[in-house]
Amino acid sequence: MYPVRGQHVHTRQIARALRTFAIHSQTCELWDTSRCRQLAYRTLNYLDVKPIGHQRLGCELSFVTDFRMIFSQVFESWQVFRALGIRPNSSAPKMPSLTASFVFCLALLTTWLGLVAATPASAKRQIIYPAAGIINAPVAGTAIAPGATFPFSYSVRNVCESGYSAFTVWLLPAPPTNADLDASGNFVAGSYLYDFGEYVVANFGAPSEISVPSCEWTDIESWCRASPMQPTPPPSFTMPDFSTSEFDSVIYINTTMYLAVVESYLYCPGGIYQEFGYTSNAIVYNATSST
Kindly state whether residue 2 falls inside one of the protein's structural domains. Answer: no
Residue 258 has what pLDDT?
Answer: 98
Same domain? For 56 and 132 the reply is no
Residue 76 has what pLDDT?
Answer: 40
Residue 183 has what pLDDT?
Answer: 83
Question: Domain range holding 197?
Answer: 126-285
Same domain? For 258 and 212 the reply is yes
Residue 231 has what pLDDT?
Answer: 80
Task: Give the CA count within 13 Å in the CB-facing half-sphere of 127.
Answer: 15
Same domain? For 64 and 191 the reply is no
pLDDT tens digit sequence for 142-200: 999 999 999 999 999 988 777 778 899 999 999 999 999 988 889 999 999 999 999 98
Residue 253 has what pLDDT?
Answer: 95
Kindly state whether residue 291 falls inside one of the protein's structural domains. Answer: no
Same domain? For 66 and 137 the reply is no
Kindly state whether residue 40 falls inside one of the protein's structural domains. Answer: yes
Residues of the chain with pLDDT under 70: 1-126, 129-131, 205-230, 266-274, 289-291
Residue that terminates a domain, selected from 118, 138, 159? 118
